[in-house]
Amino acid sequence: MSRAELTEPPAPAAKPAPGTRTPTPLWTLGLLRNELATTLRRWRTIALLGVLAAVPVLVGIAVKIETSDGSSAGGGGGEGPAFIAQITNNGLFLVFTALAATLPFFLPMAVGVVAGDAIAGEANAGTLRYLLVAPAGRTRLLITKYATTLAFCVIATLVVATSALIVGALLFPLGELTTISGTRISFGEGLGRALLIALAVAASLIGIAALGLFVSTLTNSGIAAMATTVGLLITVQILDQIPQLHAIQPYFFSHYWLSFADLMRDPVYWDDLIRNLQLQGLYAAVFGAAAWARFTAKDITA
């Protein structure tokens, strides 16, 4: 190397093009806030949340009418969700019943619609390329879309729980609760367990959210992505009920969904709850990585 090369000052770093800006944590939070606000303002999202809020109302009214006719709710054949027989004694059980009634289909369907539309909907509307012109980058945008879907999981679950709590308080008495184990807990502790159950239900939707996001990267049609995600949900639910498939059923994302009922035991049974969280984390890792691999190589100009 020559003396001139040794003494030559290093070339200045390239300046960003005019009109561009480097992403910052605050900018990223702003992008997440904008995505969440956009998602919640859509009429489709409002309709989904309205349906979810209506389920506890219908269940509560049905139980109230049945008890006013002199019959015992949930009695006789032990039909219906596990907590429905306790609603007339304590309205807080309507929260548990509503979550048990919406988790197998209504909640994951709503999440599947939002996740399936996350990328494909932008591509179909022609706004995806404009989003990537901003300094978001594909990875940052994908993470933001997934975080928005996870936030919707929590919001949708809390909508069901809040609606059930209000209806339960209006139609039925409130007070101490009897756990599945037969012990009595205070109303305050019951509220705490209801919150834990709502969070456990929201966490159970992590897997379907990642699956829906992956499907959304495979197509430019939002409707096709949403239909495929909901179709996979229904298929897995059916397969999880076939006895001959018991060897692989523990690997289905929906297998441990109803493990949240173990939070109403005294003491709490954590085994299936932990298995559910581990399974959802596995689905999030596998399909999240697949979505990233697909999205970073996706041709957005087509």
Q: Which range is most confident: 17-26, 66-75, 242-251?
A: 242-251
In the structure, what pLDDT confidence band is assigned to residue 18 with cuts at 50, 70 and 90?
very low
Higher pLDDT, residue 60 or 301: 60
Q: Note the pTM of the prediction, 2 decimals.
A: 0.84
Three-class SS state of 281? helix
Specify whether the CB–CB gap between 242 and 248 falls below 8 A. no
- Is residue 73 predicted with pLDDT exceeding 80? no
Torsion sign over Cα 107, 111, 116, 121: positive
Region of poorest pLDDT, from 127-131, 143-147, 157-161, 193-197: 127-131
Q: pLDDT of 207-228, one tens digit each? A: 999 999 999 999 888 899 999 9
pLDDT at 81: 54
Torsion sign over Cα 262, 267, 271, 275: positive
Domain locations along the chain = 46-296
Quick one: tokens of 217? 């990267």
pLDDT at 140: 87
In the structure, what pLDDT confidence band is assigned to residue 5 with cuts at 50, 70 and 90?
very low
Mean pLDDT, rounded, for 89-94: 90
Say how far apart CA 214 and CA 155 lie, in whole Å.
Answer: 21
Q: pLDDT of 225-251, one tens digit each? A: 999 999 999 999 999 999 999 999 999
Region of poorest pLDDT, from 2-6, 153-157, 162-166, 278-282: 2-6
Which residues touch 296 (CB under 8 Å, ≥6 apart)? 138, 139
